Chains A and B, each alone.
Chain A
Amino acid sequence: KNEVEQSPQNLTAQEGEFITINCSYSVGISALHWLQQHPGGGIVSLFMLSSGKKKHGRLIATINIQEKHSSLHITASHPRDSAVYICAAQGGKLIFGQGTELSVKP
């Protein structure tokens, strides 16, 4: 079993839908990162959080330390949100999930 697991692996949504991507981890962490990778593109950090909730525009990230679970929400999704979303658990080093490939259709 991977130390960091994401679900779903693939997700197709219609423009405007509310999207949730989940991340569960089994290791002790000091923080949880959410990253975005566009097709053929580089990797951009979206959030780093160690408790509670963070919001940036239409993106919201939450974390429950007791349950070792984090979620990334996208409100009013748009085709430009199509990308791979990666969570990474920050312990002694970063441990990455395998990513969730999101496609938002117009």
Chain B
Amino acid sequence: NAGVTQTPKFQVLKTGQSMTLQCAQDMNHEYMSWYRQDPGMGLRLIHYSVGAGITDQGEVPNGYNVSRSTTEDFPLRLLSAAPSQTSVYFCASSYSNHNEQFFGPGTRLTVL
């Protein structure tokens, strides 16, 4: 099993550009989530999904969209990137919201 995969590993954007961070898992997990990690802030939940077709907002959802058309994939879209979105983004999955979380390797995003 590949576990949780994320692409790209690194990305530099200009303010106003859009992009999609990809996340996929091959463990048939229902629960998937996106976090951002900033120095001194800890991990913060952006959006999460409890199954295909179901998504909900986390702690810091503004500026981000998600969709969950399949169990395997949970892409995160930045519609108009801002410097405040410079961060490291982690995708995670688990059987449910109350099970061990499996994290992807992260995407380091810089917005200029």
Contact = CB atoms under 8 A, between A and B. Distances in A.
Interface of chain B, main secondary structure:
loop
Contacts of A96: 42-44
Interface of chain A, main secondary structure:
strand
Interface string B25-47: 00000000100000011111100
Given A86-B42, A86-B43, A99-B42, A33 B58 contact: no
Interface residues on A, range: 20 to 34
Interface in A70-106: 86, 88, 90, 92-94, 96-99
A44 interface: yes
Interface residues of B, number: 22
B98 A43 contact: no
Contacts, number: 47
Given A42-B105, A42-B106, A93-B58, A48 B42 contact: no
A19 interface: no
Nearest to A46: B100
Contacts of B41: 98
Given A42-B103, A43-B92, A48-B99, 16 more contacts: A31-B98, A33-B101, A41-B105, A42-B104, A42-B105, A43-B103, A43-B106, A44-B103, A45-B100, A45-B103, A48-B100, A88-B43, A92-B97, A93-B97, A94-B43, A98-B40
Interface of B: 33, 40-45, 48, 58-59, 90, 92, 97-106
